[in-house]
Structures are given as C-alpha cells and as structure tokens.
Structure 1
Amino acid sequence: MHRFKELEIWKRSRLFCSEVYAITSKFPESEKFGLTNQLRRASVSMPSNIAEGSSRQSNKDFTRFLQIALGSAYEIETQLLIAQDLNFVKDSELEYVFSELQEIIKMISKFKSTLKI
C-alpha cells in the first residue's frame, strides 16, 4: 500500500485540477453542464484514482487505477483541444497546461512501470 499524499503524481495532478477549474471558470455559461463539467470531472478523476488505487492491496489493482487516471488525462487533453477549437480558451493559456499535463502523463506512466505485478 502506498501513501498517496506522498506521491508526486498525486500532488501534481491535484494542483493540475485547480488549473482546469481556473480555465473552465472563463467558459461560457452555456457550457456549465457540457464541456466545463466534463473537464472538471476528468481533472478530479486523475488524483482521485491515484488515491483510490494506492489503497489497494495489490500492485495489479493499483496499476488498474493508474491506467484510469491516464485515461482521464487523455480525456482532458482532448476536451481542452475542443475548447480551443471553439475559442473558449486562448492558445497562450493552454501552453503551460498542456506542458504540465504531458509531464503528469509521463510521471504516471513511469510510476506504473515500476510497480511489480
């Protein structure tokens, strides 16, 4: 069992979630139950799945939750690109976010590969 609060991937994904909330707060009101909601849910899913997976008794189970967190990361990337296409967010605003997201994806993937199943 891992202590999720000590995991850098959990810390970074938790902070990333705040970034997503800040970005989506500028989306049109008409997107409140659409893209805004989807992005926020996916961003909350990343640290949540890392935390939940860390409580599991086997690395196999933990790996499964890390894979779900990765899926959420790719979902966020897609949804941010759609938001960009719709001009809800400026390219310059997404530069840091995409960079941070890619770093989190790499960290989760690397950590996942260190778990002995």
Structure 2
Amino acid sequence: MLSSQIQRAADSIALNIAEGSTGQSTPEFKRFLGYSIRSAIEVVSCLYLGKKRNIINEDDFSRLYKAYEGLVINIQALKNSI
C-alpha cells in the first residue's frame, strides 16, 4: 500500500539521521545523511504516484512536496557543512 510505503520512507529519514549522528565518523554521518536524502526523495516519488492515482489531491501534494523539498535542501546543507 502506498501510504505504508510513504510512512516507512518518512520514518527512515529521521532514523538515518539519528543513527548516523551517534558517535559515527564524519564520512559515516555523511553517508547516513545521504540515505536520509534518498528516503525523502522516495517520499516525493510516492507523492507523485498518489497524485497520479488520485489518492492525493493537488493542494496536499503541493504542500507536502514543498515541505520535502525544503527538507532535502536542509539535509544537503547539513551534509555539505560537515
């Protein structure tokens, strides 16, 4: 089900950041941040599928897309800063 896939990918964002930040080396933390970015992009892909299947309306899609776009930008900025 698409909703459970979105939930797993969304959870994975926070879980990878948490796992990578706990006593890991800088390269290892960056690797986990990369996983988080990929999970966020997975959520966006699922949003597109939901929109295409008429599960997600245009307003919700736009709101969520913007939120995840900002999240990806912020995680990438963090990754670049360390």
1:70 aligned to which of 16, 29, 37: 37
1:1-117 matches, within 5 Å, as 34-115=1-82
In the TM superposition, what whole-angstrom CA distance separates every residue of 1:29-77 from its partner, at most 9, and x where no partner exists? xxxxx21111110000001111111003311110010000000011000
Which structure features the higher share of helix residues?
2
Q: Distance in 2 between matches of 1:49 and 1:57?
A: 12
- Higher Rg: 1
Q: Which blocks of at least 5 consecutive residues in structure 2 are unaligned? A: none
Q: Which blocks of at least 5 consecutive residues in structure 1 are unaligned? A: 1-33
Runs of 4+ in structure 1 over 3 Å off: none
In angstroms, what is the RMSD of aligned CA positions? 0.8
TM-score normalized with structure 2 length = 0.95
How many residue pairs get aligned? The number is 82
In the TM superposition, what whole-angstrom CA distance separates every residue of 1:87-111 from its partner, at most 9, and x where no partner exists? 0010011211111111110000011
Identity of aligned residues (%): 29
TM-score normalized with structure 1 length = 0.68
